[in-house]
Chains A and B, each alone.
Chain A
Amino acid sequence: MRAWLERSFRNRIFLTVLLVALVPLLLCDVLMTQVMIFRSEHTLRTDAQEEMALLTTQLDALLTDCGDVTRALAGSTVTRSALRRGGSDSRTLYQLLNRSTVALREYADFEVYGEDGDCLYTTANVWPAAQSTGWGILSAARAADGIVLRAGNGGLAGACPVTARGGAVLGYAVFRMDDANFDAFFAPLLRGADDLLLVDATWRLLYASQPLRADDTLALLRAQLLSGKSLSDGDGERSYYVGACAESGFSLILQQPQTYTAQVVRSIYLVAALMGALCLVLCLVCAWWLSRRLFEPVNELDGAMRRVEGGDYDVRIESTRQDEMGRLAASFDRMTAEYRQNLERSVQRERELNETRLRMLQSQLNPHFLYNTLDCMKWLGVTGGVPQVAELAADLAALLRAGISGSEYITLEEELELIGRYLAIQEVRFGDRFVCELDVDERFQHCVVPKLILQPLVENAIIHGVADSDEGFIKLWAEEDAEGYLLLKVSDNGSGIPPEVLERLNSHELIPGGHLGLNNVDRIVRLSYGESCGLSAYPNEGGGSCVQLRLPMQKGEDHAQGTDR
Chain B
Amino acid sequence: MRRCCLLLVCLLLLTGCGRADTQDVSSFAPAEGDRLVIFTSHKETIYEPILKEFEQRTGIWVELETGGTVTLLERIAAGESGADLMFGGGADSLSAYSACFAPYVSEYAGDVAPEYDLGGGIWTPFSALPVVLIYNTKLVRQNPPGRWADLLDAGWRGRIAFADPTVSGSSCTALGTLLQAVGGNTDNTLAAFFRNLDGRIIADSGGVVPAVADGSCYVGVTLEENARKAIADGLDVAIVYPAEGTSVLPDGAAIVRGCAHEENARKFIDFLLSPDVQQLLGTELSRRSVRADTASDALPELTVLPYDLRRADERRQELFDAWQALCGEVEA
Contact = CB atoms under 8 A, between A and B. Distances in A.
B102 interface: no
A140 B23 CA distance: 34
Contact of B11 (A26, A45, A240, A242): A26
A242 B20 contact: no
B63 A230 contact: no
B298 to A, nearest CB: 15
B61 A134 contact: no
A45 B20 contact: yes
A225 B63 CA distance: 11
A226 B280 contact: no
Interface string A488-519: 00000000000000000000000000000000
Interface in B51-106: 52-53, 55-57, 59-63
A117 to B, nearest CB: 12
A223 B63 contact: yes
Given A23-B7, A139-B276, A200-B56, A230 B19 contact: no
A41 B19 contact: yes
B60 A231 contact: no
A241 interface: yes
A251 interface: yes
A34 B11 CA distance: 11
Contacts of B332: none
Given A134-B279, A135-B280, A228-B29, A202 B22 contact: no
Interface residues of A, number: 42
A135 B274 CA distance: 11
B11 A27 contact: yes
Contacts of A134: 275-276, 279-280
A84 interface: no
A412 interface: no
Contacts of A232: 22
Contact of B22 (A31, A228, A240): A240
B117 to A, nearest CB: 23
B26 A228 contact: yes
How many of chain B's residues touch chain A, expressed as a range? Answer: 20 to 34
A151 B52 contact: yes
Contact of B23 (A202, A223, A241): A241
A531 B185 CA distance: 153
A165 interface: no
B66 to A, nearest CB: 11
Interface string A411-428: 000000000000000000
B329 interface: no
Interface in A218-265: 223, 225-226, 228, 230-232, 239-242, 244, 251, 260, 265
Nearest to B1: A1
Contacts of A132: 280, 283
Interface in A1-15: 1-2
B14 A226 contact: no
Nearest to B275: A134
Interface in A190-220: 200-204
Contact of A34 (B14, B49, B60): B14
Interface string A127-146: 00000101110011000000
B143 interface: no
A265 B49 CA distance: 43
Nearest to B57: A140
A30 B1 contact: no
Interface in A24-58: 26-27, 30-31, 34, 37-38, 41-42, 45
Contact of A30 (B15, B57, B279, B283): B15
30 contacts: A2-B1, A30-B11, A30-B15, A34-B14, A34-B15, A34-B17, A37-B19, A38-B20, A41-B20, A45-B23, A134-B275, A134-B280, A136-B53, A139-B276, A140-B56, A140-B57, A151-B52, A201-B56, A202-B61, A203-B28, A204-B55, A226-B61, A226-B63, A228-B29, A230-B24, A231-B23, A231-B25, A232-B22, A251-B28, A269-B15
Interface of B: 1, 7, 11, 14-15, 17, 19-26, 28-30, 35, 49, 52-53, 55-57, 59-63, 275-276, 279-280, 283
